[in-house]
Amino acid sequence: MRHARLLFVALALTAACDCNESTDESASTTPTPAEPAPEPLAALEAPEVNMDKVYLGRRLFHDPILSGDGTISCATCHSLDHAGAEPRRSSNGIRGQVGPINSPTVLNAHFNFVQFWDGRAANLQEQAGGPVENPLEMGTTFPEAIERVKTDAWYVERFASIYGGEDPINKENITDALAEYERYLVTPSPFDAYLAGNQEAISEQARRGHATFKEVGCASCHMGVNVGGTMYQKMGVVQNYFEARGGELTEADMGRFNVTQAESDRHFFKVPTLRNVALTAPYFHDGSIEALDEAVRVMGRVQLGRDLEDNQVADIVAFLQSLNGELPEHARLPEDETPPSRAAAPAEGEAPAEGATEG
């Protein structure tokens, strides 16, 4: 009898174990809802700035006083009317010289991890000093530019009140003021409102384009707050961009290689921001593409190995247009602060400098 009771208990325990195992197995095969992929793009948040420095940097940015012949300012190649970029294939410098590369936008440049296409400047202040002494751009030296700035009473007063010291007009303070103005040039867009939860801030087509942008792989490089500006990438990851473009290779086509001389950096460039990109044609470092939809197609082929369909391109373009933002209130130079003509008088026998007036 005792053996019978033991056998019954054993059978009962076995049944209980079988039942529990069956329940656990059933639970383990129940599908779990997939976690949504993290959003690779982020909304803008304007940095805090010193507005006195911004106003000083704003006038310097629009003043050709920093150029060798008084005809070229930062705004010549970074026009606020062209979303901080230029409507030309490459930059124009003093004496009508043509530069080798297309000027990237300065809008939202604060969010880039480095400056210039090849990343040779670590920050905005370092970048601000480069064009002044570039012979193809402003073509002067800082000692010469500083002496010219010191002849302007408006600058003398502002530099003294902001920076103080015995000699406030110097390279460090000039580039600091320019950098502070550029930090101020942040342009919130409808897409930022969309990211904040306003589904109606952008069109249905732009919402489709945002999804397509991520699905086809664009966001693997164009990510973060600036929809770009976070890494270097090779121009032509999948297909050879330069063969498809045609023409001779230029020094500018070498990209990051020009800075590091490392073969692994040849044709690598800082991934550009796509904010305001619908307003900054022509496109790429070489300014070779005029239309945004064609730029999207080229990037699809050479970077992703995809021949994007017409509807995909149209949707992505609609999304990119939603990245067009508004300039901050005090971005433009007031008319009453417009600097006087700085064009140097030509030497005897020379033609007037481009942009100068005879009289």
DSSP class of residue 329 equals T
| pLDDT tens for each residue of 153-202 | 999 999 999 999 999 999 999 999 999 999 999 999 999 999 999 999 99
Start-end of H helices in 95-189: 124-129, 142-149, 153-163, 171-184
Is 357 inside a domain boundary? no
The number of domains in the chain is 2
Ramachandran category for residue 327: left, alpha or beta (phi over 0 → left; psi -120 to 50 → alpha): beta
Regarding whether 139 and 59 lie in a shared domain, the answer is yes
Look at residue 6 and tell me whether its pLDDT is greater than 80. no
Regarding whether 234 and 255 lie in a shared domain, the answer is yes
Regarding whether 204 and 266 lie in a shared domain, the answer is yes
In order of 65, 119, 234, 317, 320, the CA distances from 116 in angstroms are: 23, 5, 15, 25, 22
Residue 129 contacts residue 175 (beta carbons within 8 Å)? yes
Look at residue 229 and tell me whether its pLDDT is greater than 60. yes
Which entry of 137, 200, 309, 358 is annotated as an active-site residue? 137
DSSP class of residue 1 equals -
Buried b (16+ CB within 10 A) or exposed e, 96-129: eeebebbbbbbbbbbbbebbbbbbbbebbbebbb
Across the chain, the runs of DSSP E, i.e. the strands, are: 232-234, 268-270
Residue 101 contacts residue 91 (beta carbons within 8 Å)? yes
Is 228 inside a domain boundary? yes
Residue 269: strand pairing partners: 233
Regarding whether 156 and 226 lie in a shared domain, the answer is no
Regarding whether 182 and 195 lie in a shared domain, the answer is no
Regarding whether 72 and 171 lie in a shared domain, the answer is yes
Provide the CATH number for the domain around residue 182: 1.10.760.10
Across the range 216-226, mean pLDDT stands at: 98
Supply the range of the domain harboring residue 64: 51-187+327-334
Regarding whether 163 and 60 lie in a shared domain, the answer is yes
Distance CA 313, CA 254 (A): 28
Regarding whether 194 and 133 lie in a shared domain, the answer is no
Regarding whether 79 and 151 lie in a shared domain, the answer is yes
Decide if 137 is catalytic.
yes
Look up the pTM and report it: 0.87
**What's the pLDDT at 344?**
75
Distance CA 334, CA 239 (A): 47
Regarding whether 229 and 139 lie in a shared domain, the answer is no
Distance CA 256, CA 234 (A): 9
Is 9 inside a domain boundary? no
Q: Encoding tokens for residue 47?
A: 């940095």
**What's the pLDDT at 14?**
38
Regarding whether 164 and 206 lie in a shared domain, the answer is no
Regarding whether 141 and 115 lie in a shared domain, the answer is yes
